[in-house]
Copies of this chain bind each other. A is one copy, B any other.
């Protein structure tokens, strides 16, 4: 029941595309992650995902269109929807998603993180 300061948590790591767990509730996890550059196209079979921009901005690409998500904004990507986050400049993002969510969804490659650190 201690509060979590996002700036302090972000100061603890610099690697992009490596989500860290900072909270857990109701079977869901709160994660923070740095995006830089393009991620991998993927979808999640059973999980909806929320992306909240803490600092910076990024573009969420869908197959048919893209949406810029700015500081203080969030976007929810429903299960089954192919997406690819792209960050031209580094961005700090908070995620809210089920504890079962794998970062690369249906894809496994060098970007996949099977186990995440709690910080």
Contact = CB atoms under 8 A, between A and B. Distances in A.
Contacts of A72: 5-7, 54
A17 interface: no
Given A26-B28, A96-B25, A5 B49 contact: no
Q: How many copies does the complex hold?
A: 2
A47 B26 contact: yes
Contacts of A45: none
Interface string A49-85: 1100010000010100001111011111110010000
A4 interface: yes
Given A1-B62, A3-B74, A50 B25 contact: yes
Interface string A81-119: 100000000000000111000000000000000000000
6 contacts: A1-B67, A3-B67, A6-B72, A30-B50, A30-B76, A54-B72
